[in-house]
Every structure is written in C-alpha cells, then in structure tokens.
Structure 1
C-alpha cells in the first residue's frame, strides 16, 4: 500500500513537472521558431525533390559533392545520376527496362568483315532480375554502338577447387543459362555479333604464380568430362540466341594437346551450330602449334615491347610484328585478337598483361597502344580485335575509380577516341586471303 502511495505521489509530481515544462515551452516566442523552420525547408526540401549537391554514399557517413555531368569531387564512386532520386531511379530501372529497341550498329557484321569488338566481363548475381539484366545490357550495347563496334564477347567465370582438381562448376558469379540468354538477346537486337566465352576463374589458383594456364588435374579425362557437363547448358543458350561463336577454352596452356579435346569439340558442335573456337595465350601462340582441333583461333595478345612510355607508334608496331613474325610473316586472316589491352599507367609497355601492379596513371600509354595495335590488325589483315574490357555492371560513361583495374578503358576519353577511330576505319577485313 505504501508503495502504491509513493508511486502515486511520484506520478503526480512527474505530471506537475511535465505541465510546468510544457508551459515554459508554450511561452517561446513564435519568432524564435520561424528561422529554424525556414532553414529546415531550404536545406531539406532539395533532398526530397532531388536537386541537392550533397549525396551520402551508402555505408558511409561522408557526404559526396555531386555536380551535374561529373563524377564525385573526391574521386569516389557515384551512386547514380547527378541530382537526387538516385535510389528511385535505380529501382525504376530494376523493375522497368527502357521502352523500345536498343540502338543498332550502322553496319552489322557479315562474313569477311573485321570483328570490331569489346570483351564484356560479367560476374553475375543470382538475385538480379531479368529487368535489371536487360537494362544493363542495353546500356552496354548503346556504349558499344557509340564506339562503332560491331561485335561483343561475353566473358564470365566458372570455378574449380585448385590446380589439381578435377571438379568444375558454376559458382556465385557465374550467370545462369537463362540470364545469359537475356543478355545475348539484347546484344543481338542491337545488331552486334555475339561470342560466349566461359573462363576459368583463377582466385583459388593463387595468381600470378598459379593461373589457368598451368593447372594439373590429377585425372585429365575426368576434368574433360566435368567440363563437358558444365558447358552443355551454355552451348544450348548460345544456340537459342543465335550466338556467332562459342569459345570452348581460354588460355588453358597445360591442357592443350590432350586427345579429349576432339570429343569435347564434337559434343559442342552437336549442340551449337555456330563457330566453336579456342583462345590461346600469346606465349603459347608464338611458341608453337596450338594443338586444339578448332577451325577458329583467337589470341589473348599481351606482347611485351621494351620501349619507353613516350615511344612513337612505329616502335610499338615494330615490337608487335617482331613477336608475330615468330609464328609466320605476312597476313594472318584467320587470327582474331580475342583479348588486347594494356594498363593506363607508366611502364605498361613492358608488361601489358600485368593485372596486379598499379603504377602512376598514364592514359596516353593506353591510348597509344590501342592505336598501334589497330594498325597491326589492319596491316596483317587479321580477322579483328576485342578490347579488354568493360565490366557488365559498370556505367561505361564514368571514369574508372582509383581502386579499379588500370586495364579498364571505358570512361578514358583518349582511349575511346582511338577505339572509335579504329572501328570506323576503312579496313575491309581479312576477306578470303589464305592463312599463313
């Protein structure tokens, strides 16, 4: 009872105190409230309607200055178009792909024409909807059409458990065959020649010492059986979407020459009626015969040229020809450069395929290299070139961030200018010249 009384007294005192405080607050002059209200409206309203220059990056307390048609002032990743409403716009993109067909190439590829292409590297997420994939594919298709490309190669990872493993499987970043079909359909609608290119992921191989070119499965026949089972659904997807080429293997140096390739390729050709190809690494290509029985051979071409960063075009062209002449002099009409690229940084000519080093940014090195390689493709009458690379989920109009690969070229104006010049050239293509 005493307890209840005490509680009642405490409650009465609390109510009296609350009323007293409320009375004090009610006496605050209205003029003292107005400035605060006006300030809140001036600062807060633009955030609501979407025209405030500050945006917070997700997961960060640091605001980012966003200017129209620019990247963030701190060099970080922008989270959407300049101005507010980025989240709403992204959600709308996810749910509602753009209306109408994507832009189309001016001159669709036909046999005998050069393949002017780009490698799209795609690490998928299973939660991505078909609407998101279509929106992103249209964005990339529009970018490629703007570069005057007529071809695209879709590279995506599959996985193993180690250098000696016989197990191969689709992983968390491997697109499903259904997702692949969505993307191929959009590219096909844009008039682009399409290539499907599954590539063995190297993360568990501990690069650069371990890589896909020096795997040693304990049972190679079992490895090829697992590979055939893995590729089957992707071959079917490529066939349904009328892809032009399916790359049956990429840079598998240590597996070249095995008799199981013959059976694997025969099985692939039963499911896929387009062109079955193999992409060799540049060192094995110039070093001897690539013993994989395909009709089409691509080369991942990262030939080192020991010249300074300010070397003229002709020195780079001579360096490339020195390497190619090891294989054979003259035209190479049956060879396509399946990958060609270089880091936009100092010293990159000495090791164009160095994916791991990051020296001082130097866009001129990358642009000059692209110009030289394009000249080699034309002079040696090659079947074409695919530049490495554009990431499928990226916005190709935004310059690469500092923490991204120096090999990325999308958003680097000097390199993009050389690509457009190359792809818009009057080179007629390899035609029917005999292979060396």
Structure 2
C-alpha cells in the first residue's frame, strides 16, 4: 500500500502546482481552464496564426452543448496548425443614425462567451474577442448601408451606449485570460471621433490586456492615426486588380505591393484580423462578397488567393492572420466542399494551402 500512497501524494502535488492560464495582468483568473496544456501553445512574440470563430448564439444550448460545439471546432483549428482564436459575435443597432446599440438572443452573454473562451485556452490558443455590428437590417433598409456608414445622430449617446455594452465583456475578458479585446470593427465614419479616447481610457480601468481595433481594408491609415488602441489590424479584402486566372506567385506579388503601400512601417504590430475569400472567380474583383448565387464553384482561385495572402503577410512581417471564418454551430467533419457557401474554406483546396502556410510560418 505504501506505493499507492506515494502515487496519490504525487498526483495531489501535481494538481496543486500545475500551471494555470493567467489573466492579462498575470494573475490567475477565476474562470481559467484547468488541466494540462498541449505540447505546443502560443507564446508571446510568436505570430498570431488564427481563425475567426463567428458565433450567433442559440439560447437553448446548455453550457455543456456549447463546450461540445466548441471542442469540435477547436480540434479542427488546432489541426490546421493555428495557435490563435478570435471569437466574433454580433450586436445590433436599429438604424444607420440610431443613438444606441442593442443585443438580443443572438448575442452570447459574457457568461456563455466565457465557457468557449475557457475551452480555447484549454487548447493552448491565444484568445481574442471581437464584437461585430450585424448590418443585415441596415442593408435591408438601404442597399448602400453597411457598418462603416454608421453615423449616430447623437454621438455622445451612442458612445455611452457602446461603453455600457462593452463593459461586461471587458470584465469577462479580464477574468478569463483573454489576450486581446478588439473593441471596434470597420466603423469607418466613427473611427475619427475624439470620443474613442474616453472609451479606451474607460476600458483600461477594467481590462489590462491588449486593446485592438479592426480597420476596413481601405481605411487602415486613418484608423491607425485616430483610434488610440494598442493594435490596429486590418479586415483584408483589397481589390488588387488581377485576373482570376493569376498564378499564386502573381497574386502574392500583388498582395506584397498592397501591403507595402498600406502598412509601410512597424508591420509586426499589425495582424490581418480577417482574411477571407469566396471559392468563385469574382473573388478577385471584390473579395468581400461571400457568395454569389449561381456563380460556379472555383476552389482554385480561393486557394491561390488565400495562400498568396498568407505568404505575403509572412514575407511582409505582419503580426499574423485570422482566417474568416468558422461558425460555432458548424461541424467541420460534415463540411461539403461542393455544396457549402462559397466563402467557406473548410474541406476545400484552400485549407491545404493555409495549413502549409501556417506550418512554414510557425517554423521560422
């Protein structure tokens, strides 16, 4: 029995001393994931090679169901060779000039978000969260509308509403070891507003990690000058003026030229927060279009575009890339390369190109 007692003592010591994920300020978080870390996990100074997980909540999902959904996504993310995850989730506004933001049952609560954050950290991934204004009702009112045209009639009221919306998510992020909170995305008209300074200062009272902002591809310079966060990244859908039959090398050259013009200095601080493309020829004309009904499937152009972008980002010395997107409710094992919407790269030729890029980038 003495040998059995010895084993129990060893196990108890291990349970007490096993390292726990830390909060951004270096203290153990109350919601930090227990259990052993994977053999390879993201470390500070490494590029962020990641996936954007888009989560429209299903309120009937229990916490256990959420964790199971997260686990099947995270298995695929880790298998891709990614070391980072950004969780994007929707919030809403009533009109393009409304003075407040709102949430509904589709917006995951901070408590439910924490359950998925914990699973991601348990997988060794660097974790960001990113609220993203859902623009469908805005587009329905006027096809020219999108989140970048949001222009509240009373900006004091809007920023106060937005601050109140962010506050509990910043508290969750602090307590659960989230490395980055991207506090805004693609708000072109608003991003020059002086009120960002007060909002950022208020956020720093709650959250000690990195604060980010995701600029639309055509307004990075303006955002970098105007939004006083730690990191301004790019949602990268540039129109590069190249044909759909361009080779990977030609696409990579076009991407390099665009990056050199867009991010000429300190690129190591800049990630591509969104990198996506549809598997159809039209993606080179407007990469932001996710799916064109009736357009023929073209896996090759998607693979060349995304592979070239990833390679160009690495060559330019960017801080990393996040692939747009995987959805929490999707099961990667059931991906249908022929029938899925064209913006999905899961199970398609592009996934092989991206996996190889991540592997090569990680090896450097």
TM value normalised by structure 2: 0.85
Does the alignment pair 1:271 with 2:223?
A: no
Distance 1:177 1:418 in 2: 35
**Unaligned 5+ residue runs, structure 2?**
1-32
Out of 347, 359, 364, which is 1:411 matched to? 347
Who is 2:14 aligned against?
Answer: none
Alignment root-mean-square deviation, CA: 2.2
Question: 1:174 is paired with a residue of what secondary structure?
Answer: coil
Give distance in 1, aligned partners of 2:221 and 2:161: 30
Aligned to 2:98: 165
Give the conservation status (yes or no) of the 8 Å contact 1:140–1:392: yes
Task: State whether residues 279 and 297 of structure 1, in contact with CA within 8 Å, keep that contact through their aligned partners in structure 2.
Answer: yes
Q: Alpha-carbon deviation of 1:403?
A: 7.0
Corresponding residue SS for 1:386: strand
Q: 2:231 touches 2:269 (CA, 8 Å); kept in 1?
A: yes
- Aligned equivalent of 1:362: 298
Counterpart in the other structure of 1:25: none
Task: Give the secondary-structure state (helix, strand or coil) at the position aligned to 2:278.
Answer: coil
For structure 1, the 5+ residue unaligned runs are 1-99, 430-436
Matched, 1:191 2:127: no
Change (3 A) 1:367 1:220: same
Counterparts of 1:102 and 1:396, CA distance in 2? 25
Structure 2 counterparts to residues 171-186 of structure 1, below 5 A: 171-186=104-119
Q: Identify if the C-alpha distance between structure 1 residues 262 and 112 changes in structure 2 by more than 3 Å, giving closer, same or farther.
A: same
Say whether 1:203 aligns with 2:136. Answer: yes
Q: Distance in 1 between matches of 2:263 and 2:346?
A: 33
> In structure 2, what is the Cα distance between the partners aligned to 1:344 and 1:106?
34
Which structure's CA Rg is the greater one?
1
1: distance between equivalents of 2:310 and 2:229? 25
Match in the other structure for 2:358: 423
In the alignment, which residue of structure 2 is the partner of 1:377? 313
Paired position in structure 2 for 1:17: none
C-alpha distance after superposition, 1:96-127 (max 9, x if no partner): xxxx9999654211221111100000000222
SS at match of 1:418: helix
Between 1:244-253 and 1:397-406, the stretch displaced more is: 397-406
Deviation at 1:325, TM superposition (A): 2.8
Relative to 1, partners in 2 of residues 1:145 and 1:331: Cα closer, same or farther, differing over 3 Å? same
Q: 1:158, CA displacement in angstroms?
A: 0.3
Distance (Å, rounded) in 1 between the aligned partners of 2:188 and 2:85 = 24
